Structure 1
Amino acid sequence: MNFNKGKIYSVLLITAFVLSDFSQNCFAKNTPDEEKKQFIEVKSIDTGNIKTLENKTYDDAITIKEIYIDGNNLVNAQNILNKLNIKVGTKFDKDLIQEDLKNIYKMGYFTEKIKAVPQQTASGIALRIQVEENVPVTGFNVTGNNVVSGEEILKLLNNQEGLPQNITELNNSIKDIEKLYADKGYILARVQKISDDPDGVINIQLNEGKIQEINISGNTKTKDFVIKRNITVAVGEVYNENKLKQDLARLYGTQAFSDVRRVISASPDDPDKYKITVEVDEKRTGSISLGGGVDTETGFFGSVGYADNNFRGLGQELSTNFNVGSGVMFNDNDVVDKAPLQFEANFVEPRLKNTLNSMRLTAFARDIASYQVPLGIEKRFGGEAEFARPIKKIPNLAGSISLGVEKVRMKEGDESGINQKFREEGYTDAFRVSKRAEQLEGGTYLTLGPGVVYDTRNSIINPTEGWCASASFKESFMVSGDAGTFGKISGAIKKYYPVGEKSTFLVGGKIASRLVGDLPEFAAFRLGGPYSIRGFREGDIGNGQGFMMATTEFRTPIPFMNRVKYKFLRDIRAAFFADAGTLFHKTFTTDLYDRPGYGISVGSGLIVPIPMLGPVRFDYGYPITNVGGGNKKGNFTFAVGERY
């Protein structure tokens, strides 16, 4: 169907109306005069063009055949075209084009002077999108940053250089800058002011959030200086949430408080600075304990003790404990059935003379059946002072040195029993007398040794991730006696891998050896029992001058226990483990009792956190290697604290 002239004039009138109505609705922010100046541009179609339309339909006449972008210098035209919903080949639609202009404006690179100018051509409509770019960005000037380098901040901004100023991109960059600070713990940092220079440089002024004052509240017994010495954040420095969290965890770890928290408020004198208040809820720290239970080493036992984790409100720790047992719980032909008596007292000053040095004083006395010397009785008493200090240059690393004195006396517990054992193994009386005297050697010793500990665990009671490594050396100088001077060196490492939210996979290992002289029987390393290879009785793998052992363990919460009211019950963990270890340079006792010298076991157990005591373990292990004269059906073990 061909157009006649009347139809062509109708098309012109309709097109003029559409263009006029479209341009009047482009940007509501402009005045009518501005709209006419910016958006309305309807040109007459000359007669030459009219003739070209004679063979076109109405639909062809209002179909967009070409789209042009005018006015862009720095922004790629294709990026603008990608924002258009109107395409070549579609009919002219004023509402759709109006939305397209809004989309172009939202790109952020242009002023509001955006126009859509349709032009009638021989083939249809050529649509020209006219834009005006913002002032180009020539660079950025960042001020007010101290804890985050300018290079790190500029990396978030450099992609805008050489392009027109873009408010959207700049706002996103502001969020990225504040997130960069927050990820490093500087949660109070804000972009305070933005301005631009005539030459295109954008100025960004930061307020990193400095601390104006630190206050303490809630403490009645604990002295302020005891709390403050555990707080490493300081007035005048930029507030760091991660650093304060470590401080609060350290405060909570003193066990003097039931809760520790922080409150942040803007300073009324200077809104660019902040007041930090550390609020504490003190708990009763002194306690007298009376208890009893059952232990694989001491049998049924009773204990009485006193402990105060905030002695005199000075953050010091004082504890004493006296323990008496019934003797070996299970029949053991190499351990005397003797009621053990044990006493221990500890005093800890975490900040000696208000320095970072800590001091631990320990006094002890033990009269027990020996697990080191078969059928022997072991009496020890002495004391030790240990001084420790964090090493500032390496976070989470601390060094220590200990000095002590100890008297060790060994005596026969069952002379007839040990004599019979020697005879059963075919040894002569002369050899027995000589070897037994060697086994019962003791003496008085001065001990001295350094140690280091590296600990990044996220919790002491129930760690789910982090490392814990230690190494120590201790030299025992004989003052009197017949066992001789000897030295020991040891190292241990554990790695915790989080599994899900609360479960943990643990891999660990330990190695130790003599370093100076031969270890007397009472000081030899032994394997087997709750603190080494579970599933074996204490010492059932044997004794030696050195050892190596490893463990893997999976710990997970008890199902449905999270519904229980008491937190320490919710913290109970089920454990599934595998242990392995071997001895170096086995002692005579290992051969006398046909102990294997190595062992591998698997098993499971429970880890129960007890307030003011630590994790208590109940494990059942099953040996999968030779047990020698030990229990082939496995063994239950009980232990307090981590194994090593």
Structure 2
Amino acid sequence: MTRKPTVKSIQVLRRGACLLALALPLVGGSASSDSSNEKDNLKKSFSDLHSFEIAESKEGDATSDSDDSEPLVQISEVVIKGLEGHPSQKRLEYAAYDAMSIRPGSKVTRSEVKNDLNSIYSTGWFSGVAIDPINTPLGVQLLVRVEPNPSLTKIEINPEGTKLTQEVIDNIFNFDYGKTLNLNVLQLRMKSLKDWYNKKGYSLARILGPNRVTADGTVQLKVIEGTVQSVKIEFLDQEGNTVRENGKPVKGKTRNWVIERELLTKPGSVFNREVLESDIKRLYGTSLFSDLKVTLNPVAGDPGKVIIVLGITEQRTGSLTGGLGYSGAQGAFGSIGLQESNLLGRSWTADWNFTYGEYGALVKLSLTDPWIKGDKFRTTFRTSVFISREVPQEFRSDDSGKFEGVKDYYQAPGSAGSATVYDIGTAHGGGVGGPFSSIATAKASDSTISWFDYAGDSIILQKTGGGFSFSRPLNGGDPFKKAEWNVLAGMNFQKVEPIDYASNKRPYGVVDNKYTSSNTSTNDDVICVAFNCATENTLVSVRTAVNRNKLNDSRNPTSGNLFSLSTEQFVSVGENSPTFNRLKTSYSYFIPIDWVKLHKGCRPKAGEKYECPQTLGFQVKAGSIVGDLPPYEAFCLGGSKSVRGWAACDLAVSRSFGEASAEYRFPIWRMVSGSFFVDAGTDFSTQENVPGKPGKLLEKEGSGFSPGAGLSFNTPVGPLRFEAASKDFGDDWRYNLGFGWKF
């Protein structure tokens, strides 16, 4: 192994060559004769290497073996020139010398000299390398003249306006500024630039050059980022063909602009693999397509540009649905529906649904435009019309009876709430009299007595109406930006009529167990079902809402938080049209934990992925109503989405409320998870502030808490949960079955 020479060692090598030359005659022949022949051979063999620059050599020359027929020339000395006064003189001299295989005293051929020239140039330090053979009394001296690269001062990117920022360039080349440019190091830095592009998803980007290196150390590099010339859409059949058997092209139902608006990859944009993958995910998210194929075609004669071809297979978007179920509001029910999720090829969803249950029926027609055409804020529009009949939850209880219909009612002036009210359809003793055909007849008989026309049938609310809303994420005009905040504004219109199953008017109601065997009740037990005791109410409202979603997973969250706030202002449009405001807010917070490790995903082995969706969740909710409140618009407490130990609306019917829940969720086995929870709710003693006090008359507690536990099963439409919850740690348990978490 040859160590790097210092200046002194170079001089020693020269003297060693002199001694070697003097000893040559002892080997054979005369020294003068050999010296003369070698000089002639050198002159002949190296005449074309004088001032030879490596840039002109061919790769084959650099790697070719020396020809045995080439004459050998003995080298007496190797001298490197051109680095005098250079700040890195010693370093570059060593680099050049170490690159050479020729040493003083060796015999070399022309090919070996050319190989050394290539080796010197391949160090990357020099912009020019030349050689001069010089005859000396001691032999042949090789004078290697080198021209070092300038010190690097600046990197220029051509063309301007690329994704590369000056900060990125400086971070990569920071160590090299002010130092002699090395082309090998430059190639490594260019690779780093390429890696930066790849890391950002710009997989078609190329770094070329250097195009130019100036004397002041400016290096110009060419960047071809890979731009998208166009995006073509081709519709495919289920077999992936673009042409049908009859020779006609496959035509799609979906409008091209519906597809194109989901693409951040646009003509003229720099191709980005990650962006295109996100585009494909968004297209799949529309649920309009069953398969998507992407092809990149280079543009002939225009390197750096591609044509993206999207092969799209549409899926069936029309569906007929039906099913059976149970809910606290409707009891056992059945439903049937028709849905088209790509109406007119505009990605509109039209939905017709009919539901018939134990406590009501509903017919509803809705239309949703998920993204209004041309709107950069990605605004969604929804509208619906409906007609429904339901036994209102506010007027029934699992344990304390329900309200039954009263056709008409008269309260005598000055009579107390506890005063007896008489059914006109019954004969009463004690001078009261009866029966009477109407309230007017009874009143005419005795106006100092309170009368009511008891029907004894169920009270039904028939609602006819509709509404519309606009909602949008606060994305700053970037439809592809994931926004935490969303806002909504809309209006609702309803006509509400209290009736019985036969469509007879029932503006009043009385609790069934308050109707005595003597066919009487009290004034306090008879309430107005609707606002103003009218047979018809008109409700017109303006609703606004805002929410912030920072959950890691909206369907099955384990971390993050969710905040929502909404207000609905009802305005009067007539005598029996109330004015009031409903305000609601909620906040949920999730903490990821790993307390229980039943599932094997919570105990991963080396190389396995950690999969343990385990969390401790908290939620608080509150609301209040101010103004002329119809009793059927009051807040309901209790149920699977409220305090789970009570049936739907069985804890309270209130003007204000507050709820809090804590829940621990943990995986058990594959698709099965478990949970423990505690719910609490209160009406803040506002049941008495609801007109008619239906909650009080039905003896609803108003406040309570409910511990419980449950199992959930992951399904494609969300968790299917089965829960058991008790009332205030008592023996009264309630079981809930439903889709989706409570919060």
TM-score using structure 2 length: 0.59
Q: Any conservation in 2 of the 1:319–1:345 contact (CA below 8 Å)?
A: yes
Would the alpha carbon gap of residues 475 and 234 (structure 1) be closer, same or farther in structure 2, given more than 3 Å must change?
same
Partner amino acid, structure 1, of 2:705: G
Could you tell which deviates more after superposition, 154-163 or 143-152?
A: 143-152
Structure 1 spans left out of the alignment, 5+ residues: 1-11, 21-27, 42-69, 85-104, 114-130, 328-338, 560-571
- Aligned partner of 1:578 in structure 2 is 677
Cα distance in structure 1, aligned partners of 2:676 and 2:87: 68
Q: CA 1:416 to 1:456, structure 2 compared with 1: closer, same or farther past 3 Å?
A: closer
Aligned pairs for 1:586-605 within 5 A:
586-588=686-688, 593-595=699-701, 597-605=703-711
**Equivalent residue number for residue 176 of structure 2:** 160
Counterpart residue identity of residue 446, structure 1: V
| Matching residue within 318, 336, 345 for 1:304 | 336
- Work out which of the residue numbers 369, 376, 385 in structure 2 matches 1:349: 369
1:604 positional shift: 2.9
- Residue of structure 2 aligned with 1:617, choices 704, 716, 720: 720
Deviation at residue 39 of structure 1 after TM alignment: 9.8
- Specify whether residues 436 and 465 from structure 1 end up closer, same or farther in structure 2 by C-alpha distance, changes over 3 A only: closer
What is the match of residue 209 of structure 1? 226
Deviation at 1:418, TM superposition (A): 2.2
1:367 equivalent in structure 2: 389
The counterpart of 1:358, out of the listed 380, 385, 401, is 380
Equivalent residue runs for 1:25-104 within 5 Å: 73=87
| Alpha-carbon distance in structure 1 between the residues aligned to 2:664 and 2:296 | 41
Match of 1:443 among 537, 541, 560: 537
**What displacement does 1:405 show?**
0.3
For 2:741 and 2:589, the matched residues in 1 are separated by 13
Offset at residue 347 of structure 1 (A): 1.0
Pairwise CA distance, 1:284: 1.1
For each residue in 1:102-131, what CA deviation from the matched residue of structure 2 results, as whole angstroms up to 9, or x when unmatched? xxx9x9786799xxxxxxxxxxxxxxxxx9
2:732 matches 1:632: yes
RMSD: 4.9
- CA offset digits 1:17-75 (Å, max 9, x no partner): 9xx9xxxxxxx97999999979989xxxxxxxxxxxxxxxxxxxxxxxxxxxx999569
**Contact between 2:538 and 2:576, CA under 8 Å: does it hold in 1?**
no
Please give the residue correspondences for 1:94-243 in structure 2 after superposition, counting only pairs within 5 Å: 135-144=150-159, 145-167=161-183, 169-195=185-211, 196-218=213-235, 220-243=252-275
Are the counterparts in 2 of residues 138 and 199 from structure 1 also a CA contact under 8 Å?
Answer: yes
Which structure has the larger Rg?
A: 2
- Please say if residues 530 and 537 of structure 2, whose CA atoms lie closer than 8 Å, have aligned partners that are also in contact: no
Supply the AA of the counterpart residue of 2:467.
Answer: E
Partner of residue 511, structure 1: 621
1:368-517 matches, cutoff 5 A: 368-374=390-396, 375-376=402-403, 377-379=459-461, 380-393=463-476, 395=481, 396=483, 397-410=485-498, 418=511, 420=513, 429-433=522-526, 443-455=537-549, 469-480=563-574, 484-493=578-587, 503-505=612-614, 507=617, 509=619, 511-514=621-624, 516-517=626-627
Alignment equivalent of 2:354, drawn from 308, 322, 331: 322
Deviations 1:471-522 (A, max 9, x none): 3322122435758322223344556788966554564645342364264432
Identity of aligned residues (%): 22
CA distance in 2, matches of 1:344, 1:73: 85
TM-score (norm 1): 0.67
Residue type at the aligned position of 2:476: K
Aligned equivalents of 1:342 and 1:434: distance in 2?
26
CA pair 40-527 structure 1, distance change in 2 beyond 3 A:
farther
| CA distance in 2: counterparts of 1:543 and 1:36, whole angstroms | 111
SS of residue paired to 2:152: coil
Matches of 1:170 and 1:340, distance apart in 2: 77
Kept after mapping to 1: 8 A contact 2:489/2:544: yes
Count matched residues: 523
On the 8 A contact 1:502/1:557 being kept in 2, the answer is no
Distance change >3 Å, CA 167–CA 112, structure 1 → 2: closer
Structure 2: 5+ residue stretches without partners: 1-11, 21-61, 99-119, 129-145, 237-251, 397-401, 404-458, 594-608, 689-693
State the distance in 1 between where 2:489 and 2:73 align: 83
Match of residue 89 from structure 1 = none
1:340 shift after superposition:
2.3
Q: CA–CA distance in 2 between the matches of 1:416 and 1:617?
A: 38
Say if 2:706 and 2:729, in contact at 8 Å, map to a contact too: no
Aligned residue for 1:388, secondary structure, equals: strand
Please name the residue that 2:360 is paired with.
340
Measured at CA, do residues 208 and 452 of structure 1 come closer, stay the same or move farther in structure 2, by a change above 3 Å?
A: farther
Partners in 2 of 1:134 and 1:411 — Cα distance? 96
Contact conserved, 1:526 with 1:539, CA < 8 A, in 2?
A: yes
Q: Distance in 2 between matches of 1:557 and 1:268?
A: 57
What residue number does 1:62 align with? Answer: none
Deviates more, 1:600-609 or 1:410-419: 410-419
CA deviation digits over 1:350-376, x for unaligned, max 9? 344544443211122332232233325
Secondary structure at the counterpart of residue 252 of structure 1: helix
What is the Cα deviation at residue 317 of structure 1?
A: 0.6
Q: What does residue 632 of structure 2 align with?
A: 522
Contact 2:498 2:530 in 1 (8 A): no
Q: Take 2:148 and 2:591, find their aligned partners in 1: how far apart are those partners?
A: 53
Corresponding residue SS for 2:283: helix
CA distance in 1 between counterparts of 2:217 and 2:539 reads: 78
Cα distance change, pair 232–295 in 1 and its aligned pair in 2 (3 A): same
Distance 2:641 2:310 in 1: 39
Give the direction of change, closer, same or farther, for the CA distance of 1:515–1:416 in structure 2 (3 Å limit).
closer
Q: Larger deviation: 453-462 or 200-209?
A: 453-462
Distance in structure 2 (CA, Å) of the matches to 1:557 and 1:250: 32
Does the residue aligned with 2:732 lie in a helix, a strand or coil?
coil
Give 1:292's match in structure 2, choosing from 310, 324, 344.
324
In 2, Cα distance between equivalents of 1:76 and 1:440:
105
Contact 1:488 1:512 survives alignment (8 Å) = no
C-alpha deviation, 1:553, in angstroms: 5.5
For the structure 1 residues 465 and 438, does the alpha-carbon distance in structure 2 shift closer, same or farther, using more than 3 Å as the test? same
Deviations 1:66-94 (A, max 9, x none): xxxx99956999xx9xxx9xxxxxxxxxx
Are the structure 2 counterparts of residues 601 and 170 from structure 1 closer, same or farther at C-alpha, using a change threshold of 3 Å?
A: farther
Q: CA deviation at 1:208?
A: 2.7
CA contact (8 A) 1:534 1:619 kept: no
Q: 8 Å contact 1:291–1:303 — kept in the other structure?
A: yes
> What's the CA shift for 1:318?
1.0
Do the aligned residues in 1 keep the contact of 2:532 with 2:576 (CA within 8 Å)? no
1-structure distance, mates of 2:360, 2:550: 37
Is the partner of 1:250 in helix, strand or coil? helix
For the residues of structure 2 that align with 1:221 and 1:359, how far apart are their CA atoms?
Answer: 21
Q: Contact 2:723–2:736 at 8 Å: present in 1 too?
A: yes
1:448 CA drift (Å): 1.1
Partner letter of residue 632 of structure 2? Answer: F
Residues 544-587 of structure 1: CA deviation (Å, up to 9, x unaligned) = 3243445555465952xxxxxxxxxxxx5635353544345332
